[in-house]
């Protein structure tokens, strides 16, 4: 499941392949932008912004951006010219080529083209990026605390508060902090440590191909996420599973351990 660390790695790989290179082919397989052709233009850089990926072309004043979001199943691959694709061609939404490389976006949640002058309009609403140069823990805390009645599990997932946390991290962070994910933000006493833990987890995993929150490189990588049939990795208690969201269209899987994350009171246990 793509989260901030996955997108950070994808942006780094694409930047290595494309930055400073002139496109020799551009095939955007999205009806609205199918006639857009950036052949002959130069890619300046590729950056991640939370869970968004931006391929910037030409200068900031007159250039363009290919803005994509992986959603649940999207990914970008980098190939040598002529190398066989590892995904079916019908799943490709964007194909970019340079003299040496071929970059293909498969099953992208969305892909759009916009002027570089509109970049802030597209992603400026996002909170501080946990893996970005704009990271600001104090600002992330201020945003989360601004709605004290909101459950911490929803506040962490809200990209307007801090950008990069997805469903897996949301569940694992609450577990490691010993806080029930439905505890109102105003009742959580270790918010700064939860934010620090979020930063440290994504930093630790951004260069790994396998997401690990347990520290166990060769064993179970996660404490509670998707473990409702196996139990909490720490205590063995049956992991609770609910669908939670701000509305019916935003319901997401929520996993937590009723023993390690009691709902009776907000936790004061330090994050690890």
- Annotated catalytic residue: which of 3, 97, 119, 172? 3
- Annotated catalytic residue: which of 2, 128, 151, 221? 2
- The secondary structure of residue 31, as a DSSP letter, is G
- Annotated catalytic residue: which of 9, 49, 51, 170? 51
Helix, strand or coil, per DSSP, at residue 98 = coil
In 3D, which of 71, 65, 70, 97 has the Cα closest to residue 83?
Answer: 97
- Annotated catalytic residue: which of 139, 145, 252, 262? 252
Q: Quick one: angle between helices 4-18 and 191-205, nearest 10?
A: 40
Active site residue 151: no
Active site residue 252: yes
CB 193 within 8 A of CB 271: yes
Active site residue 181: no
CB 125 within 8 A of CB 160: yes
- Number of C-beta neighbours around residue 160 at 10 A: 13
Active site residue 86: no
**What are the strands of the beta sheet with 92-97, ordered from one edge?**
25-28, 92-97, 101-106, 75-80
The partner residues of 22 in beta bridges, in order of sequence, read 42
Q: What are phi and psi of 135, to 5 degrees?
A: -55, 130
Active site residues: 2-3, 51, 252
């Amino acid at each position: 499941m793509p989260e901030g660390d996955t997108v950070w790695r994808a942006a780094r790989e694409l930047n290595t392949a494309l930055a400073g290179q002139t496109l020799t082919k551009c095939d955007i397989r999205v009806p609205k932008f199918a006639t857009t052709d950036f052949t002959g233009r130069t890619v300046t850089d590729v950056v991640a912004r939370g869970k968004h990926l931006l391929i910037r072309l030409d200068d900031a004043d007159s250039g363009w951006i290919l803005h994509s979001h992986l959603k649940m199943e999207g990914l970008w691959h980098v190939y040598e010219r002529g190398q066989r694709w590892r995904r079916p061609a019908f799943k490709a939404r964007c194909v970019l080529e340079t003299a040496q490389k071929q970059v293909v976006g498969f099953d992208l949640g969305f892909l759009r083209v916009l002027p570089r002058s509109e970049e802030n309009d597209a992603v400026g609403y996002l909170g501080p990026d946990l893996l970005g140069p704009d990271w600001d823990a104090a600002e992330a805390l201020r945003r989360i605390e601004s709605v004290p009645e909101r459950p911490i599990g929803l506040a962490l997932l809200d990209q307007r508060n801090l950008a990069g946390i997805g469903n897996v991290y949301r569940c694992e962070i609450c577990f490691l902090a010993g806080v029930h994910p439905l505890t109102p933000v105003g009742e959580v006493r270790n918010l700064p440590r939860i934010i620090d833990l979020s930063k440290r987890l994504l930093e630790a995993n951004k260069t790994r191909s396998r997401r690990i929150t347990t520290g166990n490189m060769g064993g179970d990588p996660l404490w509670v996420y998707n473990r409702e049939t196996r139990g909490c990795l720490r205590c063995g208690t049956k992991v609770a599973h609910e669908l939670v969201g701000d509305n019916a269209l935003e319901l997401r899987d929520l996993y937590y351990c009723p023993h390690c994350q009691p709902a009776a009171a907000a936790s004061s246990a330090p994050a690890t």
